[in-house]
């Protein structure tokens, strides 16, 4: 073969290869044939938190948290720990130094209990509650959140009630009716979480008993509700936690169906992230990511980071620096710093 012809043939093959490679890269980046190329996810390091308590002899001693169900970061940057025991609401500074506690007598002694699988029915809850001696101190403690105005909200699942408190811890509003389960605007049945829309609207997962999302105005006026028990779009096995992004989209972890569902502000189903596992805790970061248990995801549900040594996490929170706090029912709080 003439050498010039061989060179031209080789050049043409190289040109074709470049075109094909460029096309595949464009397809991958656009998401048509694969996930987009992403920069390396930021790493997180687990640190000891909070500062250990001190014994009477002057030595370090562990905190006796009883089932940490939730954490939240206040407008001052302090961290609230909600646990199922005496002094159920504890406040620490960011470094883990204890500041104060309150809430004895506030939260019910009822304990959410699972119904045996042999007694499950498609249209009935898989959870109930036990009260009295089989319960435990503050066992209704389920979620603590802080709204953009600095108010503290505590969800008492077994008490069927949600408390709004000012930053000092004084009650200023109540959603639901303490000790009375039900549906409609004035009652919940074992509620699980609360979230805040950009316009101040409130969203509640009425989770263990009712399988619905309830929307209120910022002053507590009932607006609407959606959801029923099931496995289809807009149906729930257990709506356990929820968060809201800057556009008002509502992300709900449907724990028993092992997925996260996404809705518009009025409850219209948008999409679902299947195969997430039985995620409980959710938290929204300031840079547009969602903590989903032991995993950080973007708003499309793609995993961008995993937290080393993290448990399943019953609750989650994020501070202004992007540090992550995970509440574990094993009785610990895990703090992850970048």
Q: Distances in Å between the alpha carbon of 232 and those of 124, 258, 274?
A: 15, 12, 12
Are the beta carbons of 74 and 91 closer than 8 angstroms?
Answer: yes
CA–CA separation, 302 vs 150, rounded Å? Answer: 31
Q: For the chain (length 338 residues), average pLDDT per consecutive 10?
A: 42 39 35 34 86 96 96 97 97 97 96 96 94 92 98 98 97 98 97 98 97 98 97 97 97 98 98 96 96 97 94 95 97 95
Topology of the domain covering 44-337: Neuraminidase (2.120.10)
Cβ atoms < 10 Å from Cβ of 82? 28
CA–CA separation, 251 vs 264, rounded Å? Answer: 9
CA–CA separation, 203 vs 242, rounded Å? Answer: 8
DSSP secondary structure string for all residues of 43-96: P-EEE--SPPEE-TTS-EE----SSEEEEEE-TTS-EEEEESSSS-EEEE-TT-
What helix, strand, coil percent values describe the chain, rounded to 5? 10, 40, 50
β-bridge partners, 185: none
The pTM (predicted TM-score) of the whole model is 0.87
Residues in the chain, total: 338
CA–CA separation, 326 vs 121, rounded Å? Answer: 33
* Per-residue pLDDT, 338: 85
CA–CA separation, 73 vs 317, rounded Å? Answer: 7
Q: Which alpha helices (DSSP H) does the chain contain, by range? A: 3-30
- 263 membership: H or E segment, kind and range: strand 259-263
Q: How far is CA 230 from the centre of its chain?
A: 21
How do 152-156 and 161-165 pair as beta strands? antiparallel
The residue extents of the domains of the chain are: 1-37, 44-337
CA–CA separation, 19 vs 120, rounded Å? Answer: 58
For residue 152, report the phi and psi dihedrals to the nearest 5 degrees. -105, 130
Exposed/middle/buried for 300, CB within 10 Å: 0-12, 13-18, 19+?
exposed
How do 315-318 and 324-328 pair as beta strands? antiparallel
Longest CA pairwise span in the chain (Å): 96
* Per-residue pLDDT, 43: 84
> Which two three-digit tokens encode residue 21?
């490679």
């Amino acid at each position: 073969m003439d050498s010039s012809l061989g060179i031209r043939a080789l050049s043409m093959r190289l040109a074709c290869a470049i075109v094909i490679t460029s096309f595949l890269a464009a397809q991958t980046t656009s998401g048509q044939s694969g996930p987009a190329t992403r920069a390396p996810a930021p790493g997180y390091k687990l640190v000891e938190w909070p500062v250990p308590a001190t014994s009477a002899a002057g030595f370090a001693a562990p905190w006796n948290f009883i089932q940490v169900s939730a954490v939240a970061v206040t407008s001052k940057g302090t961290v609230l720990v909600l646990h199922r025991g005496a002094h159920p609401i504890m406040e620490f500074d960011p470094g883990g130094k204890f500041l104060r506690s309150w809430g004895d007598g506030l939260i019910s002694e009822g304990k959410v209990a699972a119904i045996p699988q042999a007694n499950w029915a498609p249209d009935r809850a898989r959870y109930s509650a036990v009260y009295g001696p089989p319960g435990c101190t503050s066992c209704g403690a389920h979620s603590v959140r802080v709204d953009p105005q600095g108010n503290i909200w505590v969800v008492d699942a077994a008490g069927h009630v949600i408390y709004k408190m000012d930053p000092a811890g004084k009650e200023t509003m109540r959603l639901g009716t303490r000790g009375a389960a039900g549906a409609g605007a004035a009652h919940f049945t074992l509620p699980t979480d609360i979230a805040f829309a950009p316009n101040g609207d409130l969203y509640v997962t009425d989770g263990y008993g009712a399988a619905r999302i309830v929307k209120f105005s910022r002053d507590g006026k009932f607006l609407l509700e959606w959801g029923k028990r099931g496995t289809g779009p807009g149906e729930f096995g257990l709506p356990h936690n929820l968060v809201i992004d800057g556009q008002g989209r509502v992300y709900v972890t449907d724990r028993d169906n092992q997925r996260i569902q996404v809705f518009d502000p009025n409850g219209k189903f948008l999409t679902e992230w299947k195969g997430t596992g039985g995620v409980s805790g959710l938290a929204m970061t300031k840079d547009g990511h969602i903590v989903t248990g032991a995993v950080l995801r973007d708003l499309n549900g793609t995993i961008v980071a995993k937290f080393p040594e993290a448990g399943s996490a019953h609750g989650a929170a994020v501070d202004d620096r992007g540090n992550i706090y995970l509440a574990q029912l094993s009785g610990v709080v895990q703090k992850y710093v970048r």
